Every structure is written in structure tokens, then in C-alpha cells.
Amino acid sequence: MALVLVLAAAIWGVGHVLKTPVQARWTMIGLLFVAVLAIQITLPEGAALREATGGSAGEWLVLAGLVALIRVYSSVLARLRQRVRPENRAPVAAAERMQDSELERYARHIMLREIGGPGQKALKEAKILVIGAGGLGSPALLYLAAAGVGTIGVIDDDTVEATNLQRQIIHTDERIGMPKVFSAQMAIAALNPFVTVRPYHRRLTPEIATELFAEYDLVLDGCDNSDTRYLVNRAAVAAGIPLISGALSQWEAQVSVFDPARGAPCYQCIFATPVAPHLAPSCAEAGVLGPLPGIAGALMAAEAVKTVTGAGVTLRGRMMIFDALDAETRVIRIKPRADCPVCGASAA
């Protein structure tokens, strides 16, 4: 039996050196097994060749059965792993030190005095969750990935439609019908392979918000409905993490950093109650300038980079309003509200 095992090991080793496909190596070992089994069955007991190859067919059949069980177990395990939803897979740990190609990629950041090496390392270690892979989420996701944010989560239950492509630049025509989070994941992987993307193809609900937000350092809200905005705000306040929020309306965009844990107001401090639907029509109902989400989404990504690295002054406690039609930008001060039911003194 030892002779046969040595031959099998030799076949595998030579195949490895010659870079023979794994399947071909297993085929050759299988042929060796068939030959040995034929020798055990056809030659009489005591034959030299039969003794040299084990002396009994029973031992080889038992060994073959064990190998078959192991192969079946491995195959079933691999299939089960493939069926695990991407968001439930264990994240791949990022390397502690940057590779040379990463240093080259982020060289323009590292040259900035306000970011430098420590800031870029902070970006690599950061975990940022983006709500929505639509108009605001598209540019924000791309710039966060390009900036080197190590882990990016994106949650959205929608699929790519042709009407999205006028402004949602992370998607492509060939991906129409694909869930937006997986389309975004493909785009990010093509842009920066050093980024880990966690796609959540589902609607954000109160049942999952608390647990989900606890996994991240910062959240960007680019959703397009009022209920989700208030839910995102409550979850961010509960988790004690900054919320970078953006909103659009035809020609106008607004961006702010809501962060009660550091003295700034929360979203509900400023917008105490949802606006009536007829006063805040959706993009589908009122239209929106194509480049406008790009401007606002890029601003949100810039605020995220500053928040993570500590560079400059963020929009914490301030709101930037951009009017693309009249080419005007203004920044207004916003303050916490003591009676806010989310972050005020009376909040539970």
C-alpha cells in the first residue's frame, strides 16, 4: 500500500510543479486506483505485484469510501457557503500595513498635510454604511471607495432601472434589472480591489437597524423617503455615530453632518415632523437635474473623509444648501433642540 501512496503523492507533486489542473491530477490518481483495484481482483493471492500494492482489495475499497465521503462533504460545504447572503459572510480582515500599490494609489491623499499617512490609515480602517445606492449613494460610494475606505456597507432593496441612469452613475445599462447593491459592488470592485463591500439587498427596518449600525463608524444617508430618514437618524443617534445626510429637490441640494454625541443637532432637531408628501415630491414626480446628485454625493463623501481623518472643519452643526439653477451656495447654522424626542433632554 505504501508504494501506491508514494506513486499518488508523486503524481500530485509533479502535477503541481508542471501546473497541471487539479481536476486532471485527481483523474490520474483515480486511474491509478482503478489499476490497483484491478490488480487486487485479477491476480491470485500471493502474487508479488498484488502484495506490493496492498494484498487486498478490501483495504482499498474502504480507503476509497473515506475519500468519497470527504469529497462529498467538501462539495456540500462549498455549496452551502455559496448560498450564504453576502452581508452574512465573515468580513475579510484588511492587511495591517498598506501594500506598495496602495501607497501609490493614495499618494495624492498622503501628500495632503491634513490627511497624510495616519489619515489614510484611518480611512483604511474605517467602516462606513451608505443608505441607498441611488442618486446620492452612487457618487458617494465611488468616492469613498476611491479614497480607500476599508469597509463600505450599502443597503438598498431596489433594482436598477433605465430611468436611474440619468444620474445614478454607479450603474450601467447592462445591469438594468440587477439589485442596486450588487451593481454597486461590481463597480466598486472594478475601481478599487482593496475595498471590502458589504451589500444588503433589503429595506432598512427598525428590526435590523440597531444591529446593523453597531457594525459601522459612520453612516451616509442618501435615501429618498421620509420614513427611512427618521429611522436612520434614530439608529445613528442610538449608536452614537455621525450621520452625513443629503437631500435633493429638482435644482437644489442640501448636505449636513448630524452628530448629537459631539454637540451637533440630529436630523429631527431640524426637521421635527415629516414634510407633507405634496410639498416634497419625489424625483420621479418633480424631476431632478442629472449632475445635482453627483455634486451633493461628492460633498457627502468629502465630509466623510474629513470626519474619519479629522481634517478641516466639517458641516457638523451647519447645513450647506446648493442652488444649481442660480449657481448659489449658502451655509446656515443649525442648533440642537432641547425638546427633540430623539436626542433632547427628554429622550428615552
Percent of the chain with pLDDT over 70: 89
Among residues 83, 109, 136, the one where a domain terminates is 83
pLDDT tops 70 at residue 281: no
96 in a structural domain = no
CATH of residue 314's domain is 3.40.50.720
- Measuring CA to CA, how many Å separate 102 from each of 4, 109, 248, 307? 48, 11, 34, 21
Query: 306 and 164, same structural domain?
Result: yes
Tell me the pLDDT band of 35, cut-offs 50, 70 and 90: confident
Residue 88 is predicted with a pLDDT of 55
273 in a structural domain = yes
- Per the model's pLDDT, the better-predicted residue between 151 and 62 turns out to be 151
Query: 295 and 246, same structural domain?
Result: yes
Could you list the residue range(s) of the whole structural domain that residue 247 is in?
A: 101-333
Closest CA to 304 of 264, 229, 261, 245: 245
**Whole-number Å distance between alpha carbons of 235 and 217:** 12
Residue 94 is predicted with a pLDDT of 45
Query: 249 and 139, same structural domain?
Result: yes
163 in a structural domain = yes
Query: 290 and 144, same structural domain?
Result: yes
Residue 10 is predicted with a pLDDT of 81
**Whole-number Å distance between alpha carbons of 176 and 98:** 36
Query: 325 and 199, same structural domain?
Result: yes
Query: 19 and 127, same structural domain?
Result: no
342 in a structural domain = no
Query: 72 and 190, same structural domain?
Result: no
Residue 210 is predicted with a pLDDT of 94
If you average pLDDT over residues 257-262, what whole number do you get?
95
Query: 141 and 15, same structural domain?
Result: no
Q: How many domains does the chain have?
A: 2
Residue ranges of E strands in the chain: 127-131, 151-155, 196-200, 218-221, 243-249, 252-258, 318-323, 328-333
340 in a structural domain = no
94 in a structural domain = no
322 in a structural domain = yes
Query: 154 and 46, same structural domain?
Result: no
Residue 95 is predicted with a pLDDT of 45
**Whole-number Å distance between alpha carbons of 284 and 28:** 61
pLDDT tops 90 at residue 158: yes
Cβ-based neighbours of 299, under 8 Å, separated by 6 or more? 246, 253, 255, 320, 322
pLDDT tops 70 at residue 179: yes
Among residues 53, 83, 113, the one where a domain terminates is 83
179 in a structural domain = yes
Residue 258 is predicted with a pLDDT of 97
pLDDT in tens, 290-317: 999 999 999 999 999 999 999 999 999 9
Average pLDDT of the chain is 87
Helix (H, G, I), strand (E, B) or coil at 250: strand
If you average pLDDT over residues 44-56, what whole number do you get?
73
Query: 192 and 61, same structural domain?
Result: no
pLDDT in tens, 70-129: 877 777 776 666 565 555 555 544 445 678 889 999 999 999 999 999 999 999 999 999
pTM: 0.72
Query: 158 and 78, same structural domain?
Result: no
- Per the model's pLDDT, the better-predicted residue between 102 and 48 turns out to be 102
Query: 68 and 8, same structural domain?
Result: yes
